[in-house]
Amino acid sequence: MSDSIGQSLELFFVDGRPDGLLTAELFNWTGHVLIAPRTQLTTVLGRKEAHYTGVYILLGENDDGDLAYIGESEDLGNRIKNHDTTKDWWNSAVLVSASGNRLNKAHVKYLESRLVEEARRQNKVALENGNTPARPDLSEPDQSKMEAFLNNLFMVLPAIRVDCFLQSTRPQSITMVQKSTAEQCDSVFIGRAPKHGVEGKAQLIDGEFVVLAGSKGRTEWVGPQTHNYGKLFAQVVSSGVYEVQGSFRVFTENYAFRSPSAAGATLTGRPNNGQEFWKVERTDQTFREWEASKLSE
């Protein structure tokens, strides 16, 4: 993560509204991403890139929660128009194409297959897709190009709040390489709830609060069922990295959270003030105190 190279992302609000049409492009990338609310479908169909060959993602929800559908087409706009009459649950669409309409049918079928694979692997949203489409037989150079295309796309999508492909697990090797450095600067934290046998260990790595493999927490969510952290708990469990082992759940892989509170709530099974729950391993400072001391420096 620390070796990542900075990227420049250009967002353009087509109609000057934050909830309207939005395009996203990375510098030096041929890909083009258009996200549009369903209510502006007519406007979308008037844009030339909406009729390029590409892949698309429908986003919405049903009674069970967030839902998505991933597909491909040689005319994105017409396919989305068809879905307008056959699927009633979606409320926004993401259209992915390339400048100059450079993608062909084999390219987008490969992209569709890989997107479905990755969405299922991350398991952050339910997919309406049936089976995962088979990958087409691309040449080695074309396959390499599509993987590079996907790497850029996976960077753009979270920036426009499409998180269903965002990977939260972190390789053990990366954490161990940085572990000594983290300990030297006291950014290793312990979170405990002795009454319930909860004990977790986390590191702040490249701005991410990473709970380390082996951390143990409660087996079930006991807080309010409608709380956002309750949904996060269920999401982490469904990812397969937070398994029941005896009387506890145990993280089998390192897992990145957006905040100490989100990490603490997942371990304790209820809403949690992570600023107080997590303490520096060496000094017993709370995360809040540690953060304040770093800011004062």
**Bridge partners of residue 93, in order along the sequence:** 36, 58
Looking at the fold, whether 246 and 203 belong to one and the same domain comes out as yes
Looking at the fold, whether 48 and 145 belong to one and the same domain comes out as yes
Q: What is the pLDDT of residues 101-139, one digit of tens each?
A: 999 999 999 999 999 999 988 888 889 998 889 999 999
Looking at the fold, whether 284 and 150 belong to one and the same domain comes out as no
Backbone phi and psi for residue 282, each to the nearest 5 degrees, phi listed first: -90, -35
Looking at the fold, whether 13 and 153 belong to one and the same domain comes out as yes
DSSP code, position 47? S
* Residue 2 maps to a domain: no
Domain boundary among 96, 131, 159: 159
Q: What is the mean pLDDT of residues 89-98?
A: 96
Task: Write b or e for each residue in 190-216: b if 16 or more Cβ atoms lie within 10 A of its Cβ, otherwise e.
Answer: bbbbeebebbbbbbbbeebbbbbbebb
Asked whether 212 and 202 are in contact (CB, 8 A), the reply is yes
Give 5 or 217, the one with higher predicted confidence.
217
How far apart, in whole angstroms, are the C-alpha atoms of residue 225 and residue 231? 8
Looking at the fold, whether 40 and 146 belong to one and the same domain comes out as yes
* Residue 123 maps to a domain: yes
Please name the helix (run of DSSP H) or strand (run of DSSP E) that holds residue 173, with its range, or none: helix 172-184
Domain hosting residue 49, numbered range: 9-159
Looking at the fold, whether 147 and 31 belong to one and the same domain comes out as yes
Looking at the fold, whether 126 and 23 belong to one and the same domain comes out as yes
Domain boundary among 114, 131, 159: 159
Tally of structural domains, the chain = 2
Looking at the fold, whether 118 and 45 belong to one and the same domain comes out as yes
Q: What is the pLDDT of residue 178?
A: 45
**Bridge partners of residue 244, in order along the sequence:** 249
* Residue 104 maps to a domain: yes
Q: What is the pLDDT of residue 4?
A: 62
Looking at the fold, whether 70 and 188 belong to one and the same domain comes out as no
How many CA within 13 A on the CB side of residue 53? Answer: 13
What tokens does 138 get? 């691309």
* Residue 14 maps to a domain: yes
Q: Is 139 helix (H, G, I), strand (E, B) or coil?
A: coil
- Model pTM above 0.85: no
